[in-house]
Amino acid sequence: MKVCVFGASGYVGSSIYKLLKEDSAIDVTGTYLEDPAMFDDLNKLDINEPESFSEFYKQQEPDVVVWSVMSGPDEDELIQEGLQHIITHLTPQTKLVYVSTDFVFTEGKGPYAEDDPTSRMPDDHPLSTYANAKVKAEHFINRELLNYTILRAGPIYGENEIGQLDERTEKLLVPLRLKNTVAYRDDLVRTFVHVTDLAQAVIEFVKNDLTGTYHAGPDKSQSYYAFMVQMAEALGYHGDSVEQASEYEEVDKAIPKNTSLMTDKITNAIKQTFR
Ligand SMILES: NC(=O)c1ccc[n+]([C@@H]2O[C@H](COP(=O)([O-])OP(=O)(O)OC[C@H]3O[C@@H](n4cnc5c(N)ncnc54)[C@H](OP(=O)(O)O)[C@@H]3O)[C@@H](O)[C@H]2O)c1
């Protein structure tokens, strides 16, 4: 089976790529954008560039394509250009495994099931470019494809397969190392998912014939505050270095409160467990 991982040099993509490399039944290729690449054998490719994308894709002709690409402020271009390039090149036999987000539920009234309606953020919200592009991506995939899995994930954490920590944990470590306290909100509730569990779930969907939308993660949700207390302790620091932040900061007021995900569908569908 030939698999192509787009975004194979990223936090999640590195884990997916490395685990696929270790599987002798899979012939895996991957792409990166900015040097240095996390693996020597990745292909440098801007998926927004139609000609180089087309040339690369025709050389590969994969059986499965994994989307682990993200570009924050340029997310809309990535979906309008890069994802469209993939969609127009896929044959009906080629499966797309698309890593999506809990931020498609911008009303923040979770927990959400897979078939709950998604919604857009107001355009003036700082997170709207990313969230609304992911909503658009899911819409394109649903409209244009049959052979796909959309895997939605909440905040992804933990050390990936090449020893990198997620940005949120890196940020938590700064005050902890300086013996300072740090505050997180107790009213923002998420389904946090470990990067290795997610990568392994992606690989199960690479290998199986299941299609449709699934929520990846454990069956528990936590606030940022509760999660970060737990992370601090897991990293060997006192949990009381983490404090509760104010829920009423003007700047944060439009952040969706509860985007937690119901995960029984994936638990019943695949063998992967989520810590
Ligand atoms: N991190 C989270 O908490 C989280 C939560 C929910 C869902 N997700 C989803 O998980 C997936 C992976 O996210 P991540 O956290 O691993 O992000 P990441 O570390 O930023 O990786 C994204 C990768 O996308 C690549 N990329 C960006 N623009 C590109 C372009 N024009 N052409 C080709 N490649 C491009 C970058 O390549 P280079 O590094 O080589 O430049 C980067 O490695 C995304 O679909 C994201 O929406 C993430």
**In this predicted model, what pLDDT tens digit does every residue of 187-199 receive, in sequence order?**
999 999 999 999 9
Question: Which of 4, 5, 11 maximizes ligand 1 atoms within 8 Å of its Cβ, making it the mutation to test the pocket?
Answer: 11
* Minimum-distance ligand 1 atom for the alpha carbon of 32: 40
The residue whose CB lies within 8 Å of the most ligand 1 atoms, and thus the one to mutate among 48, 69, 77, is 69
The strand ranges marked E within 106-241 are 148-153, 156-157, 182-184, 189-190, 193-194, 212-215, 222-223
pLDDT of residue 252: 61
Angle between helix 167-177 and 224-234 (nearest 10): 70
> Which CA distances in Å does 274 have to 103, 168, 194?
20, 19, 7
CA of 241 relative to ligand 1 center, distance in Å: 30
Single out the residue of 195, 193, 174, 196 nearest to residue 242, CA to CA: 174
Amino acid identity at 216: A
The predicted structure's pLDDT at residue 124: 87
How does DSSP classify residue 271?
S
pLDDT value at position 246? 76
Residue 12 CA to ligand 1 centre (angstroms): 7
Ligand 1 residue neighbourhood (C-beta within 6 Å): 7, 9-13, 31-34, 45-48, 67-71, 78, 82, 99, 101, 153, 155-156
Closest Cα to atom 11 of ligand 1: 68
pLDDT tens for 142-199 read 999 999 999 999 999 999 999 999 999 999 999 999 999 999 999 999 999 999 999 9
Domain ranges of the chain: 2-157+192-218+262-269, 167-187+222-252
Nearest-5° Cα angle at 265, 263 to 270 = 100
Segment (H or E) for 242: strand 242-244
* Cβ-based neighbour number of residue 141 at 10 Å: 22
Q: Does domain 2-157+192-218+262-269 have CATH number 3.40.50.720?
A: yes
Low-confidence ranges of the chain (pLDDT < 70): 247-253
